[in-house]
Amino acid sequence: MRRLRSSRQPSSSTPSLLPEEPTREAVLPSTTSLPTEWTLRIFALLAYGFAVRNLGTVWWADCSRVTALLLLLTEGFTLILILLARPARYRDATWASVLLNMYAALSYVLFDPRTTIQLVPEFAGAALQVCGTLWQFAAKVVIGRSFGVLPALRSVVVGGPYRVVRHPIYLGYLVGHVAFLLVNFSPRNLIVLSFLYGVQVLRVKREEAILSTNSADYRLYRQRVRWRLIPFVY
């Protein structure tokens, strides 16, 4: 596993070989104070805690729902990472970013887990979801205390799954959500997840804006790893 700390920007007297990145609106506030850091962290804990509680209720009502249990375990691990994350050096704390992340965290409550149909057997969906969960878990282990909910710069992570795509956690979620949908299909669930991945694309772009603007290491990393989310597609 390799983790690069962001280097300083080259001085004006030294020519830079790195591509210039445009400055994006007012999404790049400087380092936040400790009270603000913990206010945002507590908010994220409450949001994800609510999602975990909802998933736990669904699984407890029917303990044979392996896909619901896997989602519960994954989001429970996310809660631990949020609690242990190191303070951000730069963060996008704009209202647009907060609202995007609120939907991503709370979209679980919009699922309809009861009046659904199975497009594939439960074991097939569970097997696919295990693949997505393991991939996502590996990415979260690699990123470790640099994990965050809002777009932020803590350190630049380039090892493990980050050698394949720049946002492997989102890829793991995508595989897991497709598996969940195949076993728990309904028009409502399809709409919820379709809208969610429109939101995820916007989150990816905002994360890359703050990382690219503030880290030369990340700009080099973008040159080495071409794909953001899905290899050979996006």
Mean pLDDT to the nearest integer, 66-70 = 72
Mean pLDDT to the nearest integer, 91-113 = 83
Residue identified by tokens 């896997």 is: 70
Separation between Cα atoms, residue 119 and residue 116, nearest integer Å: 10
pLDDT at 161 over 90: yes
pLDDT digits (tens, 9 = 90+) for 179-224: 989 998 999 999 999 999 999 999 999 999 999 999 999 999 999 9
Mean pLDDT to the nearest integer, 148-171 = 92
pLDDT at 31 over 60: no
pLDDT at 151 over 80: yes
* Average pLDDT score over the chain: 80
Q: Look at 40 and 196; give whichever has higher pLDDT.
A: 196
Separation between Cα atoms, residue 183 and residue 112, nearest integer Å: 12
**Complete domains list, the chain, with CATH:** 32-224 (1.20.120)
Confidence of residue 71 (pLDDT cuts 50, 70, 90): confident
Separation between Cα atoms, residue 189 and residue 112, nearest integer Å: 6
pLDDT value of residue 14: 42
Token pair for 18:
């790195």
pLDDT value of residue 65: 72
- Write the secondary structure of 10-71 as one string of H (helix), E (strand) and C (coil): CCCCCCCCCCCCCCCCCCCCCCCCHHHHHHHHHHHHHHHHHHHHHHHHHHHHCCCCHHHHHH
